């Protein structure tokens, strides 16, 4: 019985893959070849003929290119998940979660009147946002994220609020009875300032120090 893994190793160029990924590919393909060879043996063919038929339809160079392309794409998606989506989700859960806890505890916001419009400020929450910005950017940096991804992770809570406003505004105009001229644009701008601009500035204060390109592993 041939050593299928050694045979695959000799024929298949897996340069560009990590050691673990290379071993997984070799083991999977060797198992496939072994099964194909066994099927040929059950049809009454000799061991040499069965081995020859199992190998006959494999284009090694084309297969190697496809494997490298698939693995590179998979590695890129995994890296993006680790360095962007997971830290951002943590920040999106924790920062709004603290605001909900403060509201449940009965912490009253400070109300600042701008003309006849109220600006509602949850000062204890705003004060803690630099910590969340720094924590999110730190997690992203530990996952080798780019500076842009660290910035997005650090500002994720404010960006999520901005995204919700970007969705609600067209819906309000589409299903509402008021025309553009009757929409309370000044109040809407004040709300954006209250829930997007101020939190963004607070988050940015904690995120900025983590945007440098120094490698944490060297620290």
**Within a domain: residue 73?**
no
State which residues form the domain around 36. 4-58
pLDDT attached to residue 217: 42
Residue 130 · residue 206 · CB < 8 Å = yes
pLDDT attached to residue 50: 77
What is the total count of domains within the chain?
Answer: 2
**Within a domain: residue 180?**
yes
**Within a domain: residue 204?**
yes
200 lies in the same domain as 116: yes
C-alpha pair distances (Å), 158 with each of 96, 171, 194, 195: 10, 20, 11, 7
86-104 vs 147-154: helix axis angle to the nearest 10? 20
129 lies in the same domain as 165: yes
37 lies in the same domain as 98: no
52 lies in the same domain as 85: no
pLDDT attached to residue 109: 85
197 lies in the same domain as 100: yes
**Within a domain: residue 68?**
no
29 lies in the same domain as 91: no
44 lies in the same domain as 122: no
- pLDDT by 10s per residue, the chain, length 219: 567 777 777 766 655 566 666 777 777 777 877 887 888 788 888 878 877 777 776 666 676 667 666 666 666 667 778 888 899 999 999 998 998 898 888 888 888 888 778 888 889 999 999 999 999 999 999 888 889 999 999 999 999 999 988 888 777 777 765 556 666 778 888 889 999 999 999 999 999 999 986 544 443
The whole model's pTM is what?
A: 0.61
**Within a domain: residue 52?**
yes
**Within a domain: residue 70?**
no
52 lies in the same domain as 86: no
110 lies in the same domain as 176: yes
49 lies in the same domain as 112: no
Distance CA 29, CA 14 (A): 12
97 lies in the same domain as 14: no
Distance CA 131, CA 98 (A): 12
**Within a domain: residue 72?**
no
**Within a domain: residue 71?**
no
118 lies in the same domain as 36: no
């Amino acid at each position: 019985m041939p050593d299928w893994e050694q045979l695959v190793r000799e024929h298949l160029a897996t340069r560009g893959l990590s050691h673990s990924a290379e071993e997984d590919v070799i083991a999977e393909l060797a198992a496939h070849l072994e099964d194909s060879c066994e099927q040929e043996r059950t049809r009454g063919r000799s061991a040499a003929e069965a081995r020859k038929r199992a190998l006959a339809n494999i284009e090694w160079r084309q297969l190697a290119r496809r494997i490298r392309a698939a693995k590179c794409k998979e590695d890129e998606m995994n890296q993006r998940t680790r360095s962007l989506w997971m830290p951002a989700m943590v920040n999106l859960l924790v920062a709004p979660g603290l605001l909900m806890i403060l509201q449940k505890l009965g912490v009253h916001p400070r109300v600042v009147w701008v003309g006849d419009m109220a600006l509602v400020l949850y000062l204890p929450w705003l004060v803690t946002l630099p910590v969340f910005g720094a924590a999110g950017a730190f997690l992203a940096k530990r996952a080798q994220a780019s500076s842009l991804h660290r910035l997005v992770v650090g500002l994720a809570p404010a960006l999520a609020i901005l995204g919700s406003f970007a969705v609600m505004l067209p819906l309000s105009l589409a299903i509402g009875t008021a025309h553009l001229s009757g929409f309370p644009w000044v109040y809407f701008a004040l709300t954006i300032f209250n829930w997007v601009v101020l939190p963004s500035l607070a988050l940015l204060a904690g995120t900025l120090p983590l945007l440098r390109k120094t490698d944490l592993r060297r620290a």
